[in-house]
Amino acid sequence: MIHLPKARDAWSSPEFNQILKAELEAIEADRLPLQQGLSQSSMVSPAPFSVIVVGSEADAAVIHCRVSIIYAGIVAGCSCADDPTPLDRLTECCELQLVIDRVSAVTKVTLLDTNP
């Protein structure tokens, strides 16, 4: 679980999407289910990722947000000393559902199935 207190506090403001984006982009990629969202590569690159807020709504207890994460995946060779295969980076994208508790800011993150 992650905490998104700035996004929680900004919920009713016009800056909510920007604040949510910035707060998510500031956390470490391994705290999100990006590895499970890979479709073209074998591991998540340590390069920064980008967030697009697709939509959000709230009830009395939680804020529901759907976000797209654009990130790089790596197709690696065998990592042998004489392996001439360079690390190839491919652009990956996955969608996540965030459920932010309106009191504690504890956020449950779920990878959404985007396969047709």
Looking at residue 82, its pLDDT comes to 63
Buried b (16+ CB within 10 A) or exposed e, 18-47: ebbbebbeeeebeebebeebbeebeebbee
Q: Model confidence over 8-66: pLDDT tens digits? A: 999 999 999 999 999 999 999 999 999 999 999 999 999 999 999 999 999 999 999 99
Looking at residue 88, its pLDDT comes to 78
Residue 81's pLDDT band (cuts 50, 70, 90): low
Please count the structural domains in the chain: 1
Structural domain including 64 reads: 2-112
